[in-house]
Amino acid sequence: MSEELEPVWAVAANVVLWRRYGDLGQELRPGTKAYRGGAKVFVASAYVGMGHEQLTTIGRGRHTGRWITIDTATRHLHGFRAKLLYTPAVLRRYAQVTWWPVRTEEEAVEYAALLERIAVEQRASYHGGPHPDPCLCHECLSRG
């Protein structure tokens, strides 16, 4: 039952190390509930009608280390890039949930750039209050 799966171009990203949480974003939490900070994930699908606020991602789970498929807020991801996907377990999950497969490297690069812009905008606008002091969120760590 060893099927040969063809590699596909996909968009990869990393989970932010620290994210703002709570009232006005004054608390900091590492990674997300499902992923550790810095974990590499693959974007399988997006909710375009909602302005790409949520993405369906495939990555290694925080608690089990097994491959999981879960919806993740775009603002919790960074470093979007085009990546040729080879891993059979990820390819199978990708085929089950994607409805708009990226066909070429150029498409993946364009989509990665769009998602990076959206993620930066969402992180900047999501919490209305000032950053806590000291702040370890992605923006603050990226600046310094």
If phi > 0 it is left, if psi is from -120 to 50 it is alpha, else beta; for residue 20 that is beta
Calculate Rg over the CA atoms of the chain: 16
pLDDT band at 2, cuts 50/70/90?
A: low
70-115 confidence digits (pLDDT tens) = 999 999 999 999 999 999 999 999 999 987 777 899 999 999 999 9
Question: What does the domain layout of the chain look like in residue ranges?
Answer: 8-143
This prediction's pTM:
0.88
d(CA 107, CA 100): 11
Element (H, E) at 138: helix 138-143
d(CA 17, CA 21): 13
7-58 confidence digits (pLDDT tens) = 999 999 999 998 888 777 778 888 999 999 999 999 998 887 777 889 999 9
